[in-house]
Amino acid sequence: MKTALIIAAALLAFAGTASASQSLAQKSGCLGCHQVDKKVVGPAFKDVAKKYKGNAKAEEHIAGVVHNGSKGVWGAMPMPAQSQVKSDDAKALAKWIMSL
């Protein structure tokens, strides 16, 4: 009984984190160009996670992309720097993307 409660609480906490990052992506303006599992203007975040899987510097790289933009990695369309995003938020977004 107690175990079930702990598991339920853990699941809730997990779901909470996932949607918090989705809404952070929304708030940060990422979802205008990106979706989790579909290419829009930019690559699907799941494809990004796949590309950098196993790369120890992936989160650092992605947080850097948020602030510096990116071009020529996924296609002809460049990503403009999102300098309005706070660096803690950029790190949280990078972590979330790599968890997809």
The answer to the question of residue 16 lying near ligand HEC (CB under 6 A) is no
Under a CB-based contact definition with an 8 Å cutoff, are residues 42 and 79 in contact?
yes
Distance CA 79, CA 82 (A): 9
Structure tokens at 24: 């952070």
Per-residue contact string for residues 17-56; x = within reach of ligand HEC by CB under 6 A:
-----------xxx-xxx------xxx----x--------
The answer to the question of residue 62 lying near ligand HEC (CB under 6 A) is yes
* 66 contacts: CB under 8 Å, gap ≥ 6: 28, 81, 82, 85, 90, 93, 94
Of 1-9, 13-21, 63-71, the segment contacting ligand HEC by CB under 6 A is 63-71
Residues 76-95 binding ligand HEC (CB under 6 A) are 77-80, 82, 85, 93
Distance CA 2, CA 53 (A): 36
Interface residues toward ligand HEC, by CB under 6 A: 28-30, 32-34, 41-43, 48, 62, 65-66, 70-75, 77-80, 82, 85, 93, 97
